[in-house]
Structure 1
């Protein structure tokens, strides 16, 4: 019998998710062909087929991967990507291999956030905040005048809040525009190299932030979960996810209905999706859509812990092969427990001099998983200074429906005692 392979284009960087992603294929009797820009981190997984290719160079990666598959005569059953920057590459590879997936042309409806805004402006205007698309520096002031203050500047090809700059008044506009252009350069982060010809000026929305996790099966959105997010705007950083949502039934219904309208408009198919939303005055607005499963342990841990009968990683292995593992299109209310992820943060940037309390965290009755990212001697930087370098680690917890998972995560975070020597001290 010919071995079936799933072609992985990268993985998530946090080991809790990476382990779950690798195990998903193996648990379903599938082998993995994995392509990534660097492959050293995958040696421990003992994968037979590793392809080192620059994923930020889409054409080069496309050619390298197809050449490898052909050279080794591999039977690829499905293609999956786990992060935003390679959604278009995954679509191209799926089409080239004759496999289920998003049309390469339509992938840019979600990869390019400006395209998403244009699409909704025409077909789902209630999903958009006030926005304007800027194609050159000369038109930026016209865009700001249209949107008003406060507003944000956003690069159309990045994710996870990278490169977003707020402008609260005309007095700070010049400086923030300069900061924006200085930051969103490919040499600072490869994701800024996508869709450099334009960017978005957008109304800053004030409300509560949430995400919808799901998959698309033959054009049909399947809603798996609504996740409540918490942000520390002083840093700024997103530090907590919990599911099921604590929003009212009415607002959750509005979110689900908007998601069910939005996903078919984008045209993404046979893949996961992740919609970030803001609820403003009881009305949802879409911040962005990812044409892949969301990260932050939502699909790897939180959904299975809240609903043990539903494992998104197992399901996605079938979906990318053109199969439908679902019996209905909504699962967000089918929870037995509450689950949450908490980012553990220092009190200030600097050099970590001591970390205590990890053993106490692991003995908490609601503790389920922990991964440590920073150690004594490491430097931690504010997000504005260096992306993704402030979090010390992540903890996953689970509790009964009658308990408050937010309070439990707060209590767990309080068990950690970290001392940091500030810069220049």
Structure 2
């Protein structure tokens, strides 16, 4: 490869990085251009750590001879077989020795002392080069502190010195382009995980000015767990978070699957909105989320009961009203949320569930706007004064299906703790 080809590929990488092109497409385009310019890459792998609640990082691979998964996420590398494979890898060796590059001419008798080298040799590859390009300490995001890559060839002579020189010149630019794409993806992941899909979209579109909010009409969902405080007081500290996560996953996934947006997790409580333009459709989505939640809870409670772990149910309040949706807070700490009397009312409605012994309570405005459920009867339970709300409100509930039971099954040691109707708040 001459200098002109190297400069041309570097310019292409710069453009892709500025555009925020997907990392897998960047690696594919890079390899194809290198091969066309005379650099005999037969297979390439690139890794970069990420910031994600489940995955440790993301891998990108390319093969000139076969179809491979161009992008895949990988889990923790410090446990099980993944830990053993990592310790045997060339990348781990480079980290331990503070090296930047290592080469094995595997088709010319050099040792197969790193993970996967024997597999590569069996597949006809003859030369292997692994590289690490480290980021500055103050530019780390989570564990994302460097860019890993390896390059192999089936060429009978292996990589020539001019090929290695081209890689040494181009891979840092590739690393920068992929880092740009990864940072774009990470910013979206963080925003969605901590703000919710809709709020994240608005923030990433630039709606972060303090006090910037819009008035919307929305269906409001507020739910919390039955007897959460009493149950967790009897759990070992290490069991509390898994207990909460199990039920939070059921609630949040049901809301998302039905088209809602979770705005806030408040201990065991969840605040969400359904803001379809048509009020009836928003109510329909909320009722679908409630049905999904009950189905998920049935499965979850069966699994936890079989494992001898405590179970619970979810209390849910549904309301509809006008709220302000946007940024509230100080100049350097904002929260993207909803505020207004309707928000306070829906939390008060949910808190009444434990006193009237019903899993779902709905306000009169919600019932007036909602399509009647086809499988359950909506019944008024009377007018109730809500704490902090001037006027009493008529509340409604859904009659249970014959197969539904109000109380979850609990281990004997916890059954007595859940018999009192006292408010957990």
TM-score by length of 1: 0.24
Greater fraction strand: 1
Q: TM-score, normalised by structure 2?
A: 0.24
Which structure has the larger Rg over C-alpha atoms?
Answer: 2
**Higher relative helix content:** 2
